[in-house]
Amino acid sequence: MFDYTLTEEQERWKKLAHDFARDEIRPISLELDHQEDPAKCAYMPHLLDKLDKVGLRCMSIPKEYGGGGVDDLLTHCIVGEEISWGDRGATGWMLSSTKITHLLTSDVLSTKEMAEEWLPQYVNDPTFMIGTATTEPESGSENQLPYNGVDGGYRVTAIKDGDDYVVNGKKHFISNVGYAKLMFTFVRTNPNVGVEEGASLLMIPMDLPGISMGKVHNKLGYRLNQNAEIIFENARVPSKFLMGPENCGVSYIRKHLRGDALINAAGQIGTARAAYEASVEFAKERVQSGRPIAEHQTIGVKLVDMYTKLQAARNFVYYAAWRQDMRHEFPPDPPMTLSASAFAHEISCDVTRMAMEIHAGRGVQRENFIEKWFRDCHNMLFSSDGGNNMKKVRAMYSLLGHWGESDPSHNPVVKGADVSAGDGL
């Protein structure tokens, strides 16, 4: 069963990430978060070069391409928790690194030539980031199940014209826009059928003509990770950047990618842990009625509840990550990733709310990290990986043994619409 002892390598990555979060992220986190202009909140120009120098930015890239070679999800969760202890938004670089690795090393979606062209560029350029463009103004969580009606799903179209795809439409709520050099974009290559027969994945260089950045979204929390619109206006994308078969469908694409939902879940735990630690220190120092408030049962019991919730969430997320890493040795448990992620997101909101209660009037002050951590966790509860409600709906379907379309005739690739709930972007 699961061994709770971290390896020497995991301990090394954990310390590296924590020290970086303490020395480089936490000192600038509050100032960036408080910028009125959301375009000025992004951590990227402040941290990417430093992340690169200590080896964190490319930790997920295979060693054969010059990266750190970390491929297990558990280590990523350990690092994600520590980085988010510094700031929740700063975990964006991890998802950039893991996703480009998964996408460009997939035997089904990619080719060796793609990996050899792009992964060394990623490693050699400290400013290189990627993004995955899924959500649109009229198409959001319905793609998570997915809904396969002609009237639903992605509206951004990519119509074949010679050796190119002509791309038109708008994506929004997309991470890393303005910094990503590659955007892995879900498009409708056949708008006359549902997304299980007419969706494809394009790798789109962001410097192509016809691609522009729209507004930067002004969010409640998670502000250091920039989200913005992408506008495609007759952008011509070479057909060599098609990943996987044309019209293979959204479920087929996601089936061949390991999901990153647990990294986001670990990030929630890191932020909540920061709020818990600050609450313990505050409760020891704050004296009321002749003694520290930590010794008042109302506060002391609340601290115990925070501790218990964090331990439960971390153990569930780490175990789920370990099970993903051991998926070739243990039978799959499809709802585990989704339920662990949903649980961690809810627990983080519980813990940061209790931290606000303990700090009382001080907690709601803008100069205090507590209200920021509260906002960060609640922001992600509603928006991360389709939101908590969608995670639970997906887990429900996987518990019942149903997932998307089960009829192979509905997809040009055999069994293309069957997907484990723990997989995907």
Contacts of 285 (CB under 8 A, 6+ apart): 292
Residues 240 and 330 in one domain: no
Ranges 75-89, 113-127, 153-167, 255-269: which has the least confidence = 255-269
Q: 173 lies in a domain?
A: yes
Number of domains the chain contains: 3
DSSP secondary structure, 204-253, as one string: EETTSTTEEEEEEP--SS-TTS-EEEEEEEEEEEEGGGEESSTT--HHHH
Q: Which of 71, 104, 126 is the last residue of a domain?
A: 126
pLDDT of residue 415: 38
Residues 116 and 172 in one domain: no
52-82 tens-digit pLDDT:
999 999 999 999 999 999 999 999 999 999 9
Q: Rounded to an integer, what distance in angstroms lies between the CA atom of residue 317 and that of residue 84?
A: 15
Q: 167 lies in a domain?
A: yes
Tokens linked to 116: 């050899």
Residues 371 and 331 in one domain: yes
Domain extent, residue 50, equals: 8-126
Q: 172 lies in a domain?
A: yes
pLDDT at 9 over 80: yes
Output the domain CATH number for residue 262. Answer: 1.20.140.10
Greatest Cα-to-Cα distance within the chain, rounded to the nearest angstrom = 80
Q: What single DSSP character describes residue 78?
A: H
Q: 3 lies in a domain?
A: no
Q: Rounded to an integer, what distance in angstroms lies between the CA atom of residue 32 and that of residue 217?
A: 15
252-292 tens-digit pLDDT:
888 777 767 899 999 999 999 999 999 999 999 999 999 99
Contact indicator for 425, 99 with CB cutoff of 8 Å: yes
Residues 259 and 388 in one domain: yes
Contact indicator for 290, 283 with CB cutoff of 8 Å: no
Model pTM greater than 0.85? yes
Report how far apart, in Å, the C-alpha atoms of 422 and of each of 197, 254, 263, 311, 313 are. 22, 10, 12, 22, 17
